[in-house]
Structure 1
Amino acid sequence: MQEDFLHYIWKYKKFEIANLKTTTGQSILVNHVGQHNFNSGPDFFNAKLKIEEQLWAGNVEIHVKASDWFLHNHEQDKAYDNIILHVVWEHDTDVFRKNNTSIPTLQLKDFIEETLFNNYEKLFSKQSKWINCENDFALVDNFVLSNWLERLYFERLERKSKTIETLLQESKNDWEAVLFIMLAKNFGLNVNGESFFSLAKSIDFSILRKTQSDQQILEALLFGQAGFLDQDIEETYYLSLVNEYSFLKQKFKLENHQVLPIQFFRLRPPNFPTIRLSQLASLYYEHQNLFSRVIETNALDDFYELFKVSTSAFWKTHYTFQKESKASVKTTTKPFVGLLLINTILPIKFCYAKQKGEDVNIDIIKLAYAIHSEKNSIIKAFNDLKKVSKSALDSQALIQLKTEYCDKNKCLQCTIGNTVLNKQII
């Protein structure tokens, strides 16, 4: 039994309201359950109750066992002097305020439906399950699920906004600089995301502004900061980058000792960091004011066109500096651009609109629904329970659901968990 479950029962009045009685037989009429307190102190503030003929206004404290009152030393805490009702699952002792006056007690297990308790026990059973509700997930109404996923998606956007807001403070509200850092992180994908993030943060964006009119100088800047230009390679293009970076390093007093190591291991050649850095350089070479373009663009096809960039000429026949390969045009793909939209562009647009006091939620939802669902172990597991992830909005919401609710046993704060708890057992 979790105390959170008792909070849920009290907050949503999941008990026999008409026949409530204290453990001493006094009638209880609940006018207002109070305001749920998630901080220290009583569990519900400013409740209004009628016990027998006496109207009470004050706080409500909830425990699994009444004796928990003394276990938590509430009898010595002035914050609990205004408790008007002690709500417990099991009444194993009487409780008193600091002045030794008795506190009326409601034993909840006498007043809840057996169905609700059975559903709770089933949901939180000790069986080995991927998620608590996996046996009932497929039965959740599609309308209920769809609305909950939209709410979860915006929770995830809010979570991603925290990184953006921190970067804005550090850059003195330079949205172009923040966009560059976030894009760089996502050009690095999962393997090199943090490394590319540290690389982008190592470059003052004013330097990128001064160099982006020349693609080779821009590549020298990125490859040099990545630590790729300190090898003994006798190749014309490579040596030209070394010379360019040496000049840039001296001119702008560049340091890269805080840039995290960049990996090639476990990557397919099209995702090699050399290819992604060249594509990132091409993007900023081709678009001098990328942030304004991002904010103005709303159609998915227009985003695909905006972020469709190829590497410079050298990388058409190379994946690394050392070895030549079969010639191919290495252009960003739609799935890759989709990831940029999911992880960078939509959070940036959401955060920018919030700062401006504008509502772009409908545009964001429309775009998120238009992008294909991500593919990973979490999405596969949910789809095995019920074919639910058809778009990026779905997949992002499901990741939020798994990591912030399922993994933390927050079923009582989850719409799906509530649906399972309140279903009727046939």
Structure 2
Amino acid sequence: MAEDFLYFLWQFQYFRHNDLRTAEGETLRVIHPGVRNADSGPDFTQARLFLGDVEWVGTIEVHHRAADWLLHRHHHDRAYDNVILHVVWDNETVELRRSDGSVIPTLSLCDRVDPRLLQRYQDWQAESGVIPCAGRVTEVEPFRRTAMFDKALLERLERKANGVTALFQDAKRDWEETTYQLVASAFGFQVNAEPFGQLSRMVPLKILNKHRNNLFQLEAMLFGMAGLLTSDQPDVYETALQREFRFLAAKYQFRANPLPPHIWKWSKLRPANFPTLRLAQLATLLSFPQSLFSTLIETGDPAALLRFFQVTPSAYWQTHYRFGKATETSLSTLGPSTAESLLINTVLPLLVAYSHHADRPDYRERAVALLEHLPAENNRVTRIWQQVGVPVRTAFDSQASLELYKNYCQSKRCLSCQIGVSLLKSR
């Protein structure tokens, strides 16, 4: 028996209440089931109930079996002394006591739940589709679907903002360096995000800024520390970069060795996504005179932000996608959808993280407004939601649908989802 189903039963009181008694034989009347606790400690707080003629206020702990209390060692944790009721599926006649020796009353639900409700939940969990409620999701009132999408979107923004905050702490609380590392990782577009992130930590922004007016030198440092200046027969441009990198590496005494070339992924990537071209584009972005951090958090116009990311690299990379490999077609400028992806994965989490840091809710509101003005992303997950009848019109919708799919549908957390709860209650 999954505990999330038991949480659902207790939270919504989906069990028979006639002649409700604890395992100890005491009459029980629930006034309020409490509030679900997402942190450590008992599962529900602020519960109110009557045991016999005495009103109790405290916490509720939920388990499959009564013995799980001992298995989880709650009897050694004083945080559980305030538990006023232990709700279980199977009681197993295990007597539990608080640290002061008083008995913790137990309520068993296995004989009080409609078997059809349990069967529906089990059928749901056995569903092999990527979205368990795919066949019925459109039955849920639109306002409930919207509320869950809003919740998922905010969870996604907060999770990504927490990542930015961690970067900020590692970067010695320097917002410029944080923004640079965030943008660099985003230029890796998942496949090469990790090596891009490593590279940004190896080549500090304060060094790159000293050569902001010399794109060639920026490329030399980035390509050199990326371990990509290693051709056996380099062309003229790579040879010049190698020479410049040796000079700059000696000048700044880079502490780390260049990244090993094998760390970069090329397989199944279109030439436009090759790490060499992305690095060249990043170098161009870093050559701009304005502050990267200020530009990203103060520019409220989505079109202006997209233009900022749609950079054109140096002349060499307008005709090459790898060293020594010329192409007849231009692959250099970032396309609109790529720029939108960069904006979503850098500007939005940066705005939310800075909103918390500066106690400025308006930055968080700006992040949400940007999502509402950007078109929806077109990927496998958004197409799945469209196929089951859920409209995905803006980037707000697509980001929410990604979070809902990855953190709820895939792990079948249906009873933590307002859509799933609504469907189960409706039957």
TM-score, with length taken from structure 1 = 0.87
Structure 1 residue 334: Cα displacement? 0.9
Give the Cα–Cα distance (whole angstroms) in 2 for the partners of residues 75 and 182 of structure 1.
Answer: 45
Q: Which amino acid aligns with 1:120?
A: Y
Q: Does 1:209 align with 2:216?
A: no
Structure 1 residue 380: Cα displacement? 2.7
Written as runs of structure 1 = structure 2, the 5 A alignment for 1:184-223 is 184-223=184-223
Written as runs of structure 1 = structure 2, the 5 A alignment for 1:221-260 is 221-233=221-233, 235-257=235-257, 259=259
SS at structure 1 position matched to 2:238: helix
Give the Cα–Cα distance (whole angstroms) in 1 for the partners of residues 296 and 80 of structure 2.
Answer: 54
| Equivalent in the alignment of 1:390 | 393
Give the Cα–Cα distance (whole angstroms) in 2 for the partners of residues 214 and 410 of structure 1.
Answer: 52
1:161–1:351 Cα contact (<8 Å) kept:
yes
Written as runs of structure 1 = structure 2, the 5 A alignment for 1:156-175 is 156-175=156-175
1:226–1:256 Cα contact (<8 Å) kept:
no
| Equivalent in the alignment of 2:55 | 55
| Equivalent in the alignment of 1:120 | 121
1:226–1:259 Cα contact (<8 Å) kept:
yes
Q: Which amino acid aligns with 1:375?
A: N
Structure 1 residue 80: Cα displacement? 6.3
Give the Cα–Cα distance (whole angstroms) in 2 for the partners of residues 392 and 15 of structure 1.
Answer: 41
Give the Cα–Cα distance (whole angstroms) in 2 for the partners of residues 251 and 353 of structure 1.
Answer: 38
Q: 1:380 aligns with which of 380, 383, 395?
A: 383
| Equivalent in the alignment of 1:367 | 370
Greater shift in the superposed pair: 292-301 or 81-90 = 81-90
Summarize deviations over 1:112-166 as a string: whole Å, max 9, x none.
5666445433333x24332332332232222222222122112112211232122
| Equivalent in the alignment of 1:85 | 85
Q: Which amino acid aligns with 2:193?
A: G
Give the Cα–Cα distance (whole angstroms) in 1 for the partners of residues 266 and 77 of structure 2.
Answer: 59
Summarize deviations over 1:366-407 as a string: whole Å, max 9, x none.
211222322333333333222432222222222222222223
Structure 1, unpaired ranges of 5+: none
Change (3 A) 1:40 1:165: closer
| Equivalent in the alignment of 1:328 | 330
Q: Does 1:285 align with 2:295?
A: no
Give the Cα–Cα distance (whole angstroms) in 1 for the partners of residues 231 and 77 of structure 2.
Answer: 68
Greater shift in the superposed pair: 367-376 or 109-118 = 109-118
Give the Cα–Cα distance (whole angstroms) in 2 for the partners of residues 202 and 12 of structure 1.
Answer: 53
Give the Cα–Cα distance (whole angstroms) in 2 for the partners of residues 290 and 79 of structure 1.
Answer: 47
Aligned residue pairs, count? 423
2:43–2:62 Cα contact (<8 Å) kept:
yes
Q: Which amino acid aligns with 2:160?
A: K
Give the Cα–Cα distance (whole angstroms) in 2 for the partners of residues 74 and 329 of structure 1.
Answer: 61
Q: Which amino acid aligns with 2:153?
A: Y
Summarize deviations over 1:217-269 as a string: whole Å, max 9, x none.
11111111112223243533222212211110100112553635223322212
Summarize deviations over 1:301-354 as a string: whole Å, max 9, x none.
111222221121122222222122215372111111101011111111111122
| Equivalent in the alignment of 1:319 | 321
Q: Which amino acid aligns with 2:287?
A: Y
Give the Cα–Cα distance (whole angstroms) in 2 for the partners of residues 285 and 82 of structure 1.
Answer: 60
2:171–2:178 Cα contact (<8 Å) kept:
yes
SS at structure 1 position matched to 2:62: strand
SS at structure 1 position matched to 2:352: helix
SS at structure 2 position matched to 1:421: helix
Q: Which amino acid aligns with 1:131?
A: I
Q: Which amino acid aligns with 2:299?
A: T
Give the Cα–Cα distance (whole angstroms) in 2 for the partners of residues 386 and 64 of structure 1.
Answer: 36
| Equivalent in the alignment of 1:301 | 303
1:311–1:329 Cα contact (<8 Å) kept:
no
Give the Cα–Cα distance (whole angstroms) in 2 for the partners of residues 423 and 245 of structure 1.
Answer: 66
Structure 1 residue 77: Cα displacement? 8.0
Structure 1 residue 177: Cα displacement? 1.4
Between the aligned residues of both structures, percent identity stands at: 36
Give the Cα–Cα distance (whole angstroms) in 1 for the partners of residues 110 and 242 of structure 2.
Answer: 75
Give the Cα–Cα distance (whole angstroms) in 2 for the partners of residues 395 and 29 of structure 1.
Answer: 44
| Equivalent in the alignment of 1:419 | 422
After superposition, the CA RMSD in angstroms is 3.0
Q: Does 1:29 align with 2:32?
A: no
Q: 2:265 aligns with which of 263, 266, 269?
A: 263
Structure 1 residue 47: Cα displacement? 3.9
| Equivalent in the alignment of 1:133 | 133
